Amino acid sequence: MTYAYTFDAAGQLTGLHHHTSGGTMRQSFAYSYDNAGIRTGVVEGSGDLVHLGRGEPSVGDRAADGRGADPDLRRGGPASQTSGLGWHDGLYLRRAECGWRSGAEAPPRPAETGARNGSSSHQRSLAQGDWPMRLVAVLGALIALAITQHGGMAQPDTIAALYPADRGIGSDPRVLLAEDFEEGTLDDVSARWTETSNADGKPLSLASGSPDGAGAQCLQVTATPGVNTGGHLYRALEAGVDEAFLRFYVRFPEDAGYIHHFVTLGGYQPSTPWPQGGAGERPAGDDRITVGIEPTGSDGAHPPPGIWNFYAYWHEMKTSADGRSWGNAIRPAEPPPVAAGRWQCVEVGLKLNSIGPEGPRRDGELRLWLDGEPVLAVRAGTPRGPWTGMGLEALDSGGKPFEGFSFRTSEDLKINFVWLMHYVTESALERNGLHPPFDPVTVWLDNVVLATERVGPIAPPVAP
């Protein structure tokens, strides 16, 4: 994250610009005072948020009046509620559902000494020796308040930023699937999915717990080696898409175990109401594409639950040494560890390649965010290490440019399913150096959202 600041000719701090990989949040503000000359907060100016590369303001160009008369930050949307977060070195900061505001309905506080410009709409220039400390205070407060405790920072250029605690996110036209496991029994949840695997009713259950502020319960999946291999929920979409973003929250216990396969996004042509097989078989190019985001122990090299790793099948994957086509692993050179003992926000971005007059292009993309931070982006030109039947590693520099993803040979193959899978086999546990008897392996999943644009981490709930 990068911050830049603007000042007027008198040295007055007039704006803070927060740059992220996805966009620039521009906050222009000035101090406000009540009729007694007491500073009551900060008044924002216009142009709060712009998506880089799109040139479209996604937050309305608004100006708050210092008393919260116009709290609506969403262009064309309902008014967003704000919640006071308190005074910070003379500045009263408030949080809104789309980024950060300050100054609305600030509570009274002791009068400050120093020059005033008069009425509540006037600005005060900071004394020459005062503004650097004020600037540090403003910046520190904004950073501290923006960090949440439930798996990442709410990001203003994402869908979730518009729906605090994910409430109502399923109504967004860009959202294809939203499941928070809050409504009904396990049977009710199962009915919202296309197919369920729950052997003898044991692997799947609803459990207490959820990312902070985002509900009361989640999905628990337990695999008991020797009894079952876990369970799954599978959803076939009514219509496929060429690009999709799958965000979910996952929590592994402190004493986590290893797994075999995990959450998968992909497409079948034709679509089927159940997950297909195909292990060890190369897709033809017009029939199947699957991308699993999986914890792996890499044969015991990493403590359980392991590191994050893509496991992908597509028609240009490399062949393994045994002559079969097992999933190619795709990961950063320094793969991120899977968190244990806390909720972690995982988001996968999958973009299928286009088809031109000359045939399939190599413009597919595969991306990964953890707790809202980008950790992997693989596309044509990305530096890579050797690419074998085991897969490849994306490098920061060096290596050779990646050839690009040609995931499909026909536009009829679309992304059209989500597979919440927790699959554990005894052979996978043994490959990671474990020996029987094996303990059950449990995981919790929550707040699953599939959309055609970035979803992002859950935005903090708004206080009543």
230 touches 441 (CB < 8 A): yes
- Residue 372 CB coordination number (10 Å): 23
3-state secondary structure of 91: strand
d(CA 133, CA 122) in angstroms, rounded, equals 21
In what helix (H) or strand (E) does residue 140 lie, and over which residues does it extend?
helix 131-146
Predicted confidence (pLDDT) at residue 439 exceeds the cutoff of 90: yes
Alpha-carbon gap, residue 278 to 261, rounded angstroms:
14
- The candidate with the shortest Cα–Cα distance to 209, out of 219, 200, 201, 199, is 219
Q: What pLDDT score was predicted for residue 202?
A: 97
Lowest model confidence (mean pLDDT) among 128-132, 279-283, 289-293, 415-419: 128-132
- Kindly report whether the peptide bond that precedes residue 305 is cis, defined as omega within 30 degrees of 0: yes
| Strand, helix or coil for residue 247 | strand
Architecture of domain 160-451: Sandwich (2.60)
Question: What pLDDT sits at residue 77?
Answer: 31
The pLDDT assigned to 402 comes to 98
- Give strand ranges (E) for 34-129: 39-44, 49-51, 83-88, 91-95, 100-102
Q: How many CB atoms lie within 10 A of CB 181?
A: 24
Secondary structure of residue 430 in the 3-state scheme: helix
For the chain, give the mean pLDDT.
77
pLDDT digits (tens, 9 = 90+) for 247-265: 999 999 999 999 999 999 9
Residue 156 clears pLDDT 80, i.e. is over it: no
- Name residue 177's beta-bridge partners: 450
pLDDT at 463: 74
CA distances from 337 to 301, 329, 332, 376 (A): 12, 15, 11, 13
Across the range 324-340, mean pLDDT stands at 97
Domain locations in the chain as residue ranges = 2-146, 160-451
Q: What is the pLDDT of residue 147?
A: 39
Higher local confidence (pLDDT), 242 or 25: 242
Give the span between the Cα atoms of 71 and 47, in whole angstroms. 15
The confidence score (pLDDT) of residue 462 equals: 81
Which residue, among 451, 464, 462, has the nearest Cα to 73 in the 3D structure?
Answer: 462
Q: What is the tens place of the pLDDT at every residue in 35-74?
A: 544 434 444 333 333 222 223 322 222 223 232 322 222 2
Q: Which of the two residues, 40 and 96, has the higher pLDDT score?
A: 40
pLDDT-based confidence at 1, cuts 50/70/90? very low
Write out the DSSP string of 251-315.
E--TT----SB--EEEEESS--SS----TT----SSSEEEEEEEEE-TTTTS-TT-EEEEEEE-T
Average pLDDT over residues 388-414: 98
Q: Which of 364, 393, 194 is nearest to 289 (CA)?
A: 364
Q: What is the pTM of this model?
A: 0.70
Cα(346)–Cα(150) distance, integer angstroms: 12
Amino acid at 184: G
Classify residue 199 by burial, with Cβ atoms within 10 Å: 0-12, 13-18, 19+.
middle
Tokens read off for 386: 């050797």
Higher-scoring residue by pLDDT: 127, 307:
307
User: Does residue 352 register a pLDDT over 50?
Assistant: yes
β-strand pairing of 49-51 with 91-95: unpaired
Q: Are 266 and 306 in contact (CB under 8 A)?
A: no
- Asked if the model's pLDDT at residue 243 lies above 60, the reply is yes
Return d(Cα 271, Cα 52) in angstroms, integer. Answer: 35
Separation CA 308–CA 344 (nearest Å): 12
Per-residue pLDDT, 172: 98
Q: Decide which of 231 and 34 is more confident.
A: 231
pLDDT at 438 over 50: yes
Say what percent of the chain tops pLDDT 70. Answer: 67
